[in-house]
């Protein structure tokens, strides 16, 4: 009898725990779906039937007349933003209230790999940002370009082998190998050769970062549902040894000093040689209201964390964006011919060689790439978290500290209110003379504000070089098994990926 009573008490307590916040949006007059115990509004996400982007997209279109939509991920309230003016406030105007990215959990175990420029919060993020930003100047990007050209030539060679055999190639895998080799060269001074080696260790590492096993998925679900109870679970523990070994080996070969290669490891070592990072804290204030001074040392763990995110972010986002653009070219031959004509003209002007200056002149190709990112942004959403209570005056509503904010890019990018006929692949939308300046806070493939992607220009340069290398020598067409509208992998997390790849036919051009 006592055992039964204890069980009932535990079940009732658990029910109240998982539903404790379910009146949050109702009390604030914000429209939302009725939440379900344990999963909130994210049943499809927890069952891995829909990705985070797809779930946010469903909510965006379900409430077309609202500026914001309430949402519950498990028991935690989140706010989905549907209005560009509110997007601007969160990312820029009131950034001090939303400087946290929101992917880390409060009061949980320390994860070394999360201390990178993308995931880090507060002072760690701020000090890293101000120290690393100079590493991405135009001059440093230009110095890296010869390394990109070498990889672009290997990309052409691998594509040629498939073209001669008349076999389809998975554009997603092809461009992932190209970006992996680029990161190996420009990031770490390694000749990964993922384009030619089917079992390249570097390529396997890239796949491993985004491949979660059953155990990993269960841990993720438990930490999402019960962050207080499962605070000691590490999300990235499976990669810590791999990244530390990789970075340690590279640093030892360089004797822990820059070697003049101008790659990412050199730039990080230069940052380390400048000594302790110091700056005004955005987290802590003195009694008089002024900021305290925050400090941070670039030790081995912090270097490994930056290498991890440089590898992960550069590999996955660029390969996703370039392969989807090639997919659109395959179904729009008239657009492809226009891009190829520009590429041919520019390369002829530059002696037939791909170069930094040549890529900068390929404006139509850049428009096409931006249009591809509009239709299918690699990051389908932006996430932020309130650092203290924030009042929305025009909504007459205040949110508490630690409420997450979702900005659904996939939805905004494909809303006909901002981009007429959004399903149509039309690069001319990004002609500066035609682009609607009001859409500045709608089209955000690289984010915006102080936490915008620091490697945006590098990613753009790498992606355009890869596209130019392919289209200068090949014409792409759909393969027999190609889906006109490919499906998103429902297990996608931060970065969207296509289920089953993007098979295309590559035919050598006759010039």
Feature table: binding site for heme: 453
In whole angstroms, how far apart are CA 52 and each of 42, 56, 65, 383, 494?
Answer: 9, 6, 22, 11, 8
Give 233-238 contacts, CB < 8 A, sequence gap 24+. 233/108, 233/109, 234/109, 234/111, 235/111, 235/114, 236/111, 236/113, 236/114, 236/308, 237/111, 238/208
CB atoms within 10 A of CB 489: 17
Q: Which residues are annotated binding-site positions? A: 453
Nearest alpha carbon to residue 322 among 359, 376, 382, 380: 376
- Report how far residue 297's alpha carbon sits from residue 375's, in angstroms, rounded to the nearest whole number: 41
Residue 399: its H or E element: strand 397-399
Q: Which residues partner with 399 through β-bridges?
A: 390
- Angle at CA 244, nearest 5°, toward 242 and 247? 105
- 3-state SS of 45-86 is HHCCCCCHHHHHHHHHHHCCCCCEEEEEECCEEEEEECCHHH
Q: What share of the chain is helix, strand, coil (3-state, %, to 5)?
A: 50, 10, 35
């Amino acid at each position: 009898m006592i055992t039964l009573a204890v069980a009932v008490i535990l079940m009732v307590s658990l029910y109240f725990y998982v539903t404790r916040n379910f009146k949050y949006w109702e009390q604030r007059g914000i429209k939302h779906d009725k939440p379900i115990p344990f999963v909130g509004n994210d049943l499809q996400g927890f069952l891995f039937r829909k990705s985070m982007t797809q779930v946010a997209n469903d909510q965006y279109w379900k409430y077309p007349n609202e500026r914001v939509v309430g949402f519950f991920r498990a028991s935690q309230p989140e706010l989905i933003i549907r209005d560009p003016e509110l997007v601007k406030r969160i990312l820029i105007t009131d950034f001090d209230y939303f400087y946290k990215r929101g992917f880390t959990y409060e009061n949980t175990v320390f994860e070394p790999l999360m201390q990178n420029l993308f995931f880090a919060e507060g002072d760690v993020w701020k000090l890293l940002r101000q120290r690393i930003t100079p590493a991405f100047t135009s001059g440093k990007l230009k110095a890296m370009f010869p390394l990109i050209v070498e990889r672009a030539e290997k990309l052409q060679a691998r594509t040629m082998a498939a073209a001669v055999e008349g076999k389809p190639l998975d554009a997603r895998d092809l461009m992932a190998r190209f970006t992996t080799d680029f990161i190996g060269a420009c990031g770490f001074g390694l000749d990964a050769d993922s384009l030619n080696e089917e079992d390249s260790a570097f390529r396997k590492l890239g796949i491993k970062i985004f491949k979660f096993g059953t155990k990993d998925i269960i841990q993720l679900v438990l930490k999402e549902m019960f962050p207080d109870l499962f605070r000691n679970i590490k999300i990235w523990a499976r990669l810590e040894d791999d990244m530390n070994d990789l970075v340690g080996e590279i640093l030892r070969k360089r004797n822990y000093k820059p070697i003049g290669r101008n790659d990412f490891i050199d730039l990080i070592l230069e940052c380390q040689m400048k000594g302790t990072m110091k700056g005004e804290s955005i987290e802590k204030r003195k009694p008089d209201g002024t900021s305290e001074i925050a400090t941070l040392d670039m030790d081995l763990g912090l270097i490994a964390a930056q290498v991890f995110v440089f590898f992960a972010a550069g590999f996955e986002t660029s390969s996703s964006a370039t392969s989807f653009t090639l997919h659109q070219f395959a179904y729009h031959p008239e657009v492809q011919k226009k891009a190829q004509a520009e590429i041919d003209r520019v390369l002829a002007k530059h002696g037939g060689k791909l170069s930094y200056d040549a890529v900068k002149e390929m404006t139509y190709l850049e428009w096409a790439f931006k249009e591809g990112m509009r239709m299918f942004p690699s990051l389908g959403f932006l996430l932020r978290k309130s650092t203290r209570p924030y009042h929305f005056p025009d909504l007459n509503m205040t949110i508490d500290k630690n409420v997450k904010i979702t900005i659904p890019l996939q939805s905004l990018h494909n809303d006909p209110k901002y981009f007429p006929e959004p399903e149509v692949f039309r690069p001319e939308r990004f002609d500066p003379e035609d682009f609607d300046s009001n859409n500045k806070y709608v089209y955000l493939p690289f984010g915006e504000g102080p936490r915008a992607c620091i490697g945006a220009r590098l990613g753009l340069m790498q992606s355009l070089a890869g596209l130019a290398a392919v289209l200068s020598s090949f014409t792409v067409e759909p393969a027999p098994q190609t889906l006109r509208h490919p499906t998103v992998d429902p297990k996608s997390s931060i970065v969207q990926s296509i289920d089953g790849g993007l098979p295309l036919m590559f035919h050598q051009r006759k010039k």
